[in-house]
Structure 1
Amino acid sequence: MQSIRLVEGWEHYRGSLGGVWEVWREAKLKSSLYHLPWEAVSLPHCFNRYDAVDPDVKYYQGQGWYRTSLGISNPYKEGRTLLRFEGAGQKSTVYVATGETGRHNGGFDEFRLDITEAAEAAKGDPLYKGKVPVAVMTDNSRDLETIPSDISDFNVYGGLYRHVHLVYVPKISLERVHATVLCVSGDKATIQLKARLYNPQRASDTVKLTVTVRDPAGKEIFRRETSAAPWEGLTELDRLELDALALWSPDHPQLYTCEVELESVHGATKQTVRFGVRTYEFVEKGPFLLNGKRLLIRGTHRHDDHAGVGAAMTDDMIRTELRLVKEMGANFLRLGHYQQSELVLELCDELGLLVWEEIPWCRGGLGGDGYKRQCREMLEAMIDQHYNHPSVIIWGLGNENDWEADFDSFDKDAIRAFMKELHDLSHELDPYRLTGIRRCDFCKDIVDVYSPSIWAGWYRGIYPKYEEYSRHGFEQTSRFLHLEWGADAMAGRHVEQPYTGFRDIRAGTSAEERDGDFLMSGGEPRVSALGDWSETYFCDLIDWHLKSQETMDWLTGTAQWVFKDFSTPVRPDNPVPYVNQKGVIERDFTKKDAYYVFQSYWSEQPMVRIYGHSWRTRWGRPSEKKLIRVYSNCLEAELFANGISCGRQRRDPQNFPCAGLRWEIELAEGFNHLKVVASKDGVTVEDETHYEYQTSSWSEPAYLRMTATKQTDSLVSLEVKAYDRNHVFCPDAVNFIRFSLAGDGKLIDNLGTARASRYVQLAGGRATICAEYAAEGTLIASAASDGLKTAIVVV
């Protein structure tokens, strides 16, 4: 087999066409009348990479076309030529020249199309000069009869946003290999190997099979050669016994390698898969066991989403993100809310991250036959394509399926019946993994593992009652796992006294999210609507949750929502519009302070962090003592303020906040330098930061002041700050600001971060954005806010 990743040589047109001939006719008719604004692009490519977070428009949903010309030369006599798509959003139709070669419904699972005959025919057409023209129409239009629902809290992206490959295979080839750990007993395990062929012409030539297995150190531990006639479907090839097992776990993610080589008179193909040996159990009314020992699941979630690329994350971006997850100390990752790329699963295997992966049956209700067929097909594809990954422990069947929206009727019995069908199908396809759903109480008895909705201190209730809320949820289901908890936080926003809402909000006995709670107004009092959206409150809430989880001996574990901020069409009024800001990092990998709170509880690597590196101005009265927060996993830390020791504090995980690593000190008016030193296991770590301390009081913001700082010959940073009528800086101002630009340059915006959005709330009384400009030109930048005097600066 030969596989070529198709990265360059593509063009994109965003819009609908009358037919596929419009893709090619300009080349034949040579007239500007038929010109379309095709854009040269590299793959992967998402055509919503900017407009998903544009504050002034709804993101585009419709057709997006791609075209390229391929030089095809299959090295195998009578071989097959395939196009392999790792994921395309959301419905795809593939053409060779003007002939349709296949369709796919679903934006997240892989699919392959055989273009052998179509490619040969196109090569003979003089219009294409021996090349093979390929066009792909992707379509993310709204469609109630497809999943996921358009009321989901994430963008249903469009484009060729995962890799596309040109693949050559012999007439008979391997299509899929599954390695199954049938049983583990002591230090021995039985492994079953199955394979499926790709043999569309039903060739009957005998094939030779060579199976080789290597242990995690690379040593060959099994090899066998056999011959067989071609077969249909997924068929057992071999069984082998492993001894002296190297078990897979988050601390020691040991991976075995299996190579299956198939040879025939038509050529050879080889499939290499990795697998791990582990056992796990969600004890009924009890904890989670991995390899027979209790493991507290410490998790988070991820979306395929990044600043400037949307869903078209590069391999390096994905590697960076998963490395950050692991370095935070997590051992679990829920892939929300759809199948993700093979690379994501490979990295989870290598890093030691347990995985819950799910199909995108998310919100809306239950559609008709086509809707159900898509759910089944996506479940079948996900299990088949990601079967070998030891990181996967749960196949998710849905999310928030109690959310009525897309159909004129909402039939709980029908949803229950279909959920049971998917549960049974999952166990038929993979008897060795569990099923799960989150937030659909009337289906919680159907699946193996259930997560109720618990948002203590955000959508409902108060976070000091988190353990009580969790215990209530635990008692309502046989196998409990708490997915999705946390809060939104505007990066760079810090407060001296974080909002708690404890006096305004009914504590209650549960903290489930209800429809509409994500809105910024209306409904019952809740922190999400009344709170300050500060990193300060965010860290306190997370700190309380984590300290509580460490003492809940009955707890299987939890997963915080979400690791990284991501775009969403249902949150236009957020401080960064159209961005769900619950991440512990921003869309561009910039860490919020909460990242270090997690590290202080979960990471083994010695670390220390002073809270508030992005808190540039603190405020208070002269000589007022201010709280200095430090997060660390070291037993003791010493704080220095302006070069003078403030003493040592010992870490106590149950001493809230900051596990006791906090100091109350007087800050000098103006500049203050802080440094902390801590040690663990003979390793000394330190951190330092600085604040301005403002003692002048202020009133409501009255005007804006903007400054420009050149970063390079072509890049300038623009900062706007709010001042009151007495010209005193307002460090707690949260007004929305709109940046505008005229002249020879452009704003670097629509990235969905606090520093790259042209319409954004102030954080710490200020907002920043960058602009590109021509060195010989003039740039006029403005910042406006309702009711405030506009600021203008000329560069």
Structure 2
Amino acid sequence: MRNNCLYFTLLITLIILTSVARAQERISLSANSDWQFYKGKLSYPALLTQQISWEKVQIPHSWNTTDVNDDVPGYYRGSGWYKKHLVIPANWKNRKVFLSFEGANQTTVIFVNGKKAGTHIGGYTGFNVDVSPFLRFDQNGKNEITIQVDNRYNANIPPLSADFTFFGGLYRDVYLTVAGKTHFNIDKYGGKGVFITTPLVSDEKASVSIKGDINNAAENVTELIVTATLKYKNRVIAEQKKQLKSDGLTHFELNFEEINNPKLWSPTEPNLYQLITTIRNAKTGELLDQVSNPLGFRWFKFDAAKGFFLNGKPLKLIGASRHQDYKNLGNAVGDEIAIKDVRLLKEMGGNFLRVAHYPQDPAVLAACDQLGLLAAVEIPVVNAITETEAFANNSKNMQREMIRQNYNHPSVIIWAYMNEVLLRPPFANDSTRREVYFKNVFKLAQELENLTREEDPNRYTMIPNHGNFALYNRIGLTKIPMLVGWNLYQGWYTGKYTGFATFLDMHHRLLPDKPLLVTEYGADADSRIHSEQPLRFDKSVEYAVQYHEFYLKAMLERPFVAAAMAWNLADFNSEERVETDPHINNKGLLTIDRKPKDTYLFYQANLLTVPFIKIGLTGRTVLGGVADGNNEFRQQIKVYSNQKTVSLAVNGVPIGKQTTSMGIANFTVTLLPGSNTLIATTGHGKQDQVEVVARLIPKILNSETLPFSDVNISLGDTRYFLAQPAQELWIPEQAYTKGSWGYVGGTRFSMTDTSRLSFGSNKNILGTALDPVYQTQRIGMDAFIFDVPDGEYELTLHFAELVSSEPQKALAYDLGAKTTVNEQFKERNFDVAINGKTMIANLGNKNELKAAEAHSYKVKVTATHNSGIKINFKPILDEAIINGIQLKKIY
């Protein structure tokens, strides 16, 4: 195996040799390979001599990639240790060497060769640590780099709580940055030390202002020349030089007064210029430092009545928010996934990205610049604050780091802070103390606002609020920022989605001078769950499509709504969440592994300008249910298109043409058992083809033309659930009719509070991946009958007690629920008999049926004498329950 230290030395030597002619030009070299990791509490420097079992890892890395998705509540929040050996060439002795971190969550301490070199607070902004004083510049010597990262709760560091997982680790790239002793100031706040603005931009001309600071620690360099060179497609457009005296920290300013006929930057034409800024020794001409930044010429404004304008033209901002995690990777996703996400948003037709709820990988905004997406960025002050000076200082430091590190991106038009900060304010039983808290929230908001306008007077500021208009308006959080964002979920967490339009009109009426952005809206869409009668909170994709259709239409109809930011681009980890897909917030337009849902297709049909058509069966390779008398199955199909009319053919047979409304055409198709081919076409010849398998259960189980093979039934349910990865289709229950199958007696289970979910439970059912099946149930059922032909069968019965004797705590996002709920727990026992023989005795919630735990029994059953299979439930104490039934014919 290649020796990593030697390999690293060779790489550095190669870079040095190839850059001799460029003298002191800055070097940036990734240092992601061959780290060693330990999760747990250690002390430094004692760990250097201890016998510790280190794990070899690569950066990006998180220690929470698995424990956030298991059935054990909580996940590891504590210390993780990383170490690595570096051989630093002697050539670097007279230079500045920094360890540059793009992100480490959330407190970081850096040790070099036994000495503490630096610290950083905050998990989502980058930082540079000058390690030069601690290094050994010896070709034969090793430098030991040891890093402690800690993601435990800290009341003085935001975020305190949030609907996302706080993954720990060195989860973004780590670099060695080598600069001359005279360099653009990167020592503080993690920026490049050069800040670019465009004071004047029009179609005819533009101006450019370049400012920054130079850190000069070289004793023999006192006269400098700073040069700014503007290029477009490698052609020099303008150049400006300035000579200045330098000793210590020196400020500089350069200006291009007039750039004629600038190529404007916009989502349709993201024209990017390159601005190269250099420092040279005025006496020798030696290059001391050089940085490159993107530059985009654009001008923009928000208008409270007319929305958003870019380059003098109205533009409705439509897009989504993004979290930075990915399936099985946590937040250690790397540049390629960050760039892919921006591309997916662009391919959806979006023109706006809300980088939420924290600054993300530098690759995100770089991709926005290149692809043409406008962006808002914010710091992670989420849900609440701590009323301490330390919390306020950390928040302000994060805001300053965010701005300075992302200042030069033309895509960024908004700096934000304080997301839903009044979601569940403390001191509910002390109104006087609560008012003090509100005043402290206001004070911190004003301080962040003042800091932001001082750091960057050219962009807008925003606070995103949840839907309690009266509270935010009374406290003053609608007055401080330049823009107000609303996170609105009428028709999901509260009320009906028709209330969304009412809220928008209320804001415009009561705050006519304050521009409005809808910064969040969405409904859970578990891509495995479908319904032909969608209901609020059933997690079906169909309900989510209805929801988004209403919301988008309402926003498009109102010019004063400047922006629509769907929540969220992709599903993301939220460890405290339960429901059908535990630990995942599945409001995403894409799944957590970035597969499109129908909601993503809906936006493509409404936003793309090139001809588009797609059959709404994303992720569904299996359809089916109970066949009709002709052994066929009728299925509702949506086709998404930006064309006025679309046609659909099934198995080569045209079934007609439909007109689209909000990009959707609805068809009812007839499917035959086995493989079916669906082809949708537009008048332009654009088409989409989908192959699906129809699994049909005969209406009469002893049918000779459609023999019975198997069925999976979710009791108490009206939805279809396609379990992964086996593509096992679960269908809704039905009442028994002679010759068929179904339940006899009983009622659907529902929670005490049905204000959101009208059936079933939203609990995480432990010990299973079939949560949707176990979360619904029929109670008090007398029997379940299958009128199957004689033969051998395998019967599986699924049980889960959905009521607990322990108080249940509501999560912060569940605004419609009480903080804690005492459920109506009753002790139950019952027997289960199959074809007259008791097979399960005294089953109850004081023995096998633990609350919210999956329990199943599998049994072989013989059907004889044309009597089928009958399952009887015999209550002993209270009522019997059952959640799911599977029956499979063996022969």
Residues 1:203 and 1:446: Cα distance change in structure 2 (over 3 Å) = farther
- Equivalent residues of 2:326, 2:592 under 8 A apart: yes
Alpha-carbon displacement from aligned partner over 1:747-789 (angstroms, at most 9, x marks no partner): xxxxxxxxxx856435999xxxxxxxxxxxxxxxx99753763
Paired residue for 2:224? 207
Paired residue for 2:849? none
- Equivalent residues of 1:669, 1:695 under 8 A apart: no
Alpha-carbon displacement from aligned partner over 1:15-56 (angstroms, at most 9, x marks no partner): 111x22243214xxxxxxx2x221100001111122222232
Answer yes or no: is 1:322 the counterpart of 2:333.
no
Residues 1:178 and 1:301: Cα distance change in structure 2 (over 3 Å) = same
Instruction: Give the alignment partner of residue 636 of structure 2, picking from 627, 631, 650.
Output: 627
Query: 1:473: Cα distance to partner?
Result: 2.9
Residues 1:276 and 1:729: Cα distance change in structure 2 (over 3 Å) = farther
Count of residues in Structure 1 that have an aligned counterpart in Structure 2:
695
Query: 1:790: Cα distance to partner?
Result: 4.2
Answer yes or no: is 1:171 the counterpart of 2:174.
no
Paired residue for 1:576? 581
- Equivalent residues of 1:139, 1:158 under 8 A apart: yes
Residues 1:536 and 1:244: Cα distance change in structure 2 (over 3 Å) = same
Paired residue for 1:109? 125
Instruction: Give the alignment partner of residue 66 of structure 1, picking from 82, 90, 104.
Output: 82
Answer yes or no: is 1:156 the counterpart of 2:181.
no
Instruction: Give the alignment partner of residue 198 of structure 2, picking from 158, 162, 181.
Output: 181
Answer yes or no: is 1:350 the counterpart of 2:370.
yes
Gap runs ≥5 in structure 1: 27-33, 500-526, 704-710, 741-756, 766-781
Query: Residue 380 of structure 1: SS of its match in structure 2?
Result: helix
Query: Residue 251 of structure 1: SS of its match in structure 2?
Result: coil
Query: Residue 398 of structure 1: SS of its match in structure 2?
Result: coil
Mapped partners of 1:722, 1:48: distance in 2: 35
- Equivalent residues of 1:577, 1:759 under 8 A apart: no
Paired residue for 2:212? 195
- Equivalent residues of 2:241, 2:254 under 8 A apart: no
Query: 1:323: Cα distance to partner?
Result: 0.8
Instruction: Give the alignment partner of residue 41 of structure 1, picking from 44, 54, 57.
Output: 57
Paired residue for 2:839? none
- Equivalent residues of 1:563, 1:583 under 8 A apart: yes
Mapped partners of 1:642, 1:44: distance in 2: 48
Mapped partners of 1:102, 1:312: distance in 2: 23
Query: Residue 577 of structure 1: SS of its match in structure 2?
Result: coil
**Equivalent residue runs for 1:143-542 within 5 Å:** 143-150=154-161, 152-174=162-184, 175=186, 176-200=193-217, 204-215=221-232, 217-230=233-246, 232=249, 234-264=251-281, 268-404=288-424, 409-410=433-434, 411-439=437-465, 440-441=472-473, 442=475, 443-477=477-511, 478-499=514-535, 527=536, 531-542=537-548
Residues 1:677 and 1:132: Cα distance change in structure 2 (over 3 Å) = same
Mapped partners of 1:670, 1:375: distance in 2: 59
Instruction: Please give the TM-score of this superposition, normalised by the length of structure 2.
Output: 0.73
Query: Residue 588 of structure 2: SS of its match in structure 1?
Result: coil
- Equivalent residues of 2:303, 2:515 under 8 A apart: yes
The structure that has the greater radius of gyration is: 2
The amino acid of 1:696's aligned partner reads: K
Deviates more, 1:374-383 or 1:182-191: 182-191
The amino acid of 1:642's aligned partner reads: N
- Equivalent residues of 2:774, 2:800 under 8 A apart: no
Paired residue for 2:800? 786
Paired residue for 2:850? none
Paired residue for 1:641? 650
Mapped partners of 2:678, 2:142: distance in 1: 65
Mapped partners of 1:112, 1:390: distance in 2: 23
Query: 1:543: Cα distance to partner?
Result: 2.0
The amino acid of 2:290's aligned partner reads: K
Residues 1:198 and 1:626: Cα distance change in structure 2 (over 3 Å) = same
Residues 1:724 and 1:68: Cα distance change in structure 2 (over 3 Å) = same
Query: Residue 403 of structure 1: SS of its match in structure 2?
Result: coil
Query: 1:739: Cα distance to partner?
Result: 9.5
- Equivalent residues of 1:494, 1:763 under 8 A apart: no
Query: Residue 201 of structure 2: SS of its match in structure 1?
Result: strand
Mapped partners of 1:638, 1:117: distance in 2: 71
Query: Residue 277 of structure 1: SS of its match in structure 2?
Result: coil
Instruction: Give the alignment partner of residue 82 of structure 1, picking from 62, 81, 98.
Output: 98
Mapped partners of 2:128, 2:764: distance in 1: 47
- Equivalent residues of 1:436, 1:449 under 8 A apart: yes
Mapped partners of 1:120, 1:688: distance in 2: 63
Query: 1:234: Cα distance to partner?
Result: 4.7
- Equivalent residues of 1:738, 1:785 under 8 A apart: no
Instruction: Give the alignment partner of residue 44 of structure 2, picking from 20, 29, 32.
Output: 20
Instruction: Give the alignment partner of residue 673 of structure 1, picking from 664, 674, 677.
Output: 677
Residues 1:406 and 1:44: Cα distance change in structure 2 (over 3 Å) = farther
**Equivalent residue runs for 1:128-147 within 5 Å:** 130-147=141-158
Answer yes or no: is 1:589 the counterpart of 2:589.
no
Mapped partners of 1:688, 1:634: distance in 2: 19
Alpha-carbon displacement from aligned partner over 1:648-690 (angstroms, at most 9, x marks no partner): 123343xxxx54x11234444665432211244xx52223242
Query: Which structure would you say has the larger RCO, counting Cα contacts within 8 Å and 6 or more residues apart?
Result: 1
- Equivalent residues of 2:579, 2:764 under 8 A apart: no
Instruction: Give the alignment partner of residue 549 of structure 2, picking from 516, 522, 543.
Output: 543
Query: Residue 516 of structure 2: SS of its match in structure 1?
Result: coil
Mapped partners of 1:764, 1:318: distance in 2: 35
Mapped partners of 1:69, 1:559: distance in 2: 45
Residues 1:789 and 1:53: Cα distance change in structure 2 (over 3 Å) = closer
Instruction: Give the alignment partner of residue 93 of structure 1, picking from 104, 109, 130.
Output: 109
Alpha-carbon displacement from aligned partner over 1:519-571 (angstroms, at most 9, x marks no partner): xxxxxxxx3xxx31101111121122223333323321210100111111331
Paired residue for 1:744? none
Residues 1:476 and 1:53: Cα distance change in structure 2 (over 3 Å) = farther
Residues 1:183 and 1:255: Cα distance change in structure 2 (over 3 Å) = same
Query: 1:208: Cα distance to partner?
Result: 2.5
Query: 1:691: Cα distance to partner?
Result: 4.7
**Equivalent residue runs for 1:685-764 within 5 Å:** 685-692=687-694, 693-694=696-697, 696=699, 701=714, 758=769, 760-762=771-773
Deviates more, 1:289-298 or 1:600-609: 600-609
- Equivalent residues of 1:67, 1:134 under 8 A apart: yes
Residues 1:454 and 1:535: Cα distance change in structure 2 (over 3 Å) = same
Residues 1:307 and 1:792: Cα distance change in structure 2 (over 3 Å) = farther
- Equivalent residues of 2:797, 2:856 under 8 A apart: no
Mapped partners of 1:203, 1:759: distance in 2: 71
Mapped partners of 1:138, 1:636: distance in 2: 56
Query: 1:465: Cα distance to partner?
Result: 4.4
Mapped partners of 1:58, 1:791: distance in 2: 32
Instruction: Please give the TM-score of this superposition, normalised by the length of structure 1.
Output: 0.81
Mapped partners of 1:292, 1:167: distance in 2: 41
